[in-house]
């Protein structure tokens, strides 16, 4: 496969994203694409970002300004929403998901309105397929869906319908392990039997009772 050459604008995007990830994780984050760019070009790109007021560079460490953080947030949001879209809708491999999301992150193919539409379509997912948080947009804050969500929290599902679990975002990791032990895990099919006084779902021959908060962290697609 032909090696792709990044434009200077794309290199600046990668620098912003890496600075965001460093801040998010608290440790230096590698960037496979940047590793193929010469030190001279990375320095030039960083200088341009500094002139724009997006970053400050000190002894090789790049930190984001408020404006740079907003730009990086939009890049991260587009990338992680695109990953979720390609993973859920098209069921692509992890490698293909990342490659497609990377292109949508950099290219001006998605207007802000399109990004909000994808987010609403997916049911405002809180995380990407790798479990990293998706920065919320205005649509998430307002809880406005202009299209029927493809993926939705189980808490807004209808009793008597069958669903498939796409991803789970429980508050505690230990809860995720407990639910998985009961068969409530991504890929599993279930029927929502009741919603009051607690949520009852049937996974194969097992009935599981959950409270509303837990049900709200289980994201599903309707099978009917």
Instruction: For residue 193, give the H/E element and its range.
Output: strand 189-194
What pLDDT, on a 0 to 100 scale, did the predictor assign at position 91?
66
Q: What is the pLDDT of residue 147?
A: 55
Reported as a single tens digit per residue, the pLDDT across 124-176 is 888 898 889 999 998 887 665 555 667 888 998 999 999 999 888 776 677 88
Q: How many CB atoms neighbour CB 209 within 10 A? A: 12
Is residue 103 predicted with pLDDT exceeding 90?
A: no
- The pLDDT score that the predictor gives to residue 21 is 93
Whether this model's pTM surpasses 0.75: no
Which helix H or strand E contains 134, and what residues bound it? none
Helices then strands, counting H and E runs in the chain, come out as 8, 8
> Domains in the chain, start-ordered, CATH in brackets?
1-149 (1.10.10.10), 152-222 (2.30.30.90)
């Amino acid at each position: 496969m032909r090696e792709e050459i990044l434009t200077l604008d794309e290199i600046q995007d990668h620098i912003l994203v890496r600075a965001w990830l460093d801040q998010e994780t608290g440790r230096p984050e590698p960037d496979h694409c940047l590793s193929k760019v010469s030190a001279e070009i990375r320095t030039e790109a960083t200088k341009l970002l500094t002139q724009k007021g997006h970053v400050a560079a000190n002894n090789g460490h790049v930190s984001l300004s408020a404006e740079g953080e907003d730009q990086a947030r939009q890049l991260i949001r587009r990338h992680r929403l695109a990953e979720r879209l390609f993973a859920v809708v098209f069921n692509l491999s992890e490698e293909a998901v990342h490659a497609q999301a990377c292109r949508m992150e950099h290219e001006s193919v998605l207007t802000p309105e399109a990004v909000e539409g994808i987010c609403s379509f997916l049911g405002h997912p809180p995380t990407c397929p790798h479990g990293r948080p998706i920065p919320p947009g205005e649509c998430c804050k307002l809880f406005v869906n202009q299209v029927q969500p493809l993926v939705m929290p189980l808490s807004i599902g209808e009793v008597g319908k069958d669903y498939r679990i796409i991803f789970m975002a429980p508050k505690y990791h230990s809860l995720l392990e407990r639910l998985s032990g009961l068969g409530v895990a991504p890929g599993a099919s279930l029927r929502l039997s009741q919603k009051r006084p607690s949520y009852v779902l049937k996974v194969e021959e097992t009935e599981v009772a959950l409270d509303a908060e837990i049900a709200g962290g289980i994201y599903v697609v309707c099978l009917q």
